[in-house]
Amino acid sequence: MSAALLLDTLLPGDEAFPPGHVVAEALAAHDRFGPALERILALLPEDFASQPPEARVTTLAAIEATHSEAFSALVLAAYSLYYTHPKVAAVLEASTGYRAGPPQPGGHALAPFDPALLAIPAVRAPLYRPTPEAET
């Protein structure tokens, strides 16, 4: 419960993006990221769940101020799982044109280089500095 609320405070969601608790289970079970969640959960006050949302933000900001490294580790973990979650990927695809999912093997079209772009720099005089060797 606290984990879900903690994640929802970090990533509240909006009209398109889901709230952070979508990754609560995956985060708790993750071999590298799980401990980061546990560390911050252990620092939450007992009444965290009953606090109003704005108070939870204040509570987390205070923990961030005193335990910045541990808190950063949690944010990294939460963002990493959140932005690779299928629901979030679907929002990204629908709203940005980004093709979520593995970059390979699909990639993106490799357009040919247009040499016309070089019209100005190509006619500049040499701008590297002469050295004694080059002068001989």
Q: What distance in Å separates the CA atoms of residue 92 and residue 77, rounded to the nearest whole number?
A: 19
Residue 45 vs 75, nearer CB to another protein: 75
Q: Which residues of 80-119 are buried (b: 16+ CB within 10 A; e: fewer)?
A: ebbeebeebeebeeeeeeeebeeeeeeeeeeeeeeeeeee
Binding residues among 62-91 for another protein as defined by CB under 8 A: 72, 75-76, 78-84, 88-89
Which of 41, 57, 63, 70 is close enough to bind another protein by CB under 8 A?
57
Tally the residues of the chain: 136
Using the rule CB under 8 A, is 49 a contact of another protein? no
Q: Which residues bind another protein (CB under 8 A)?
A: 9-14, 16-17, 32, 57, 60, 72, 75-76, 78-84, 88-89, 92, 95-98, 100-115, 117-118, 120-122, 124-134
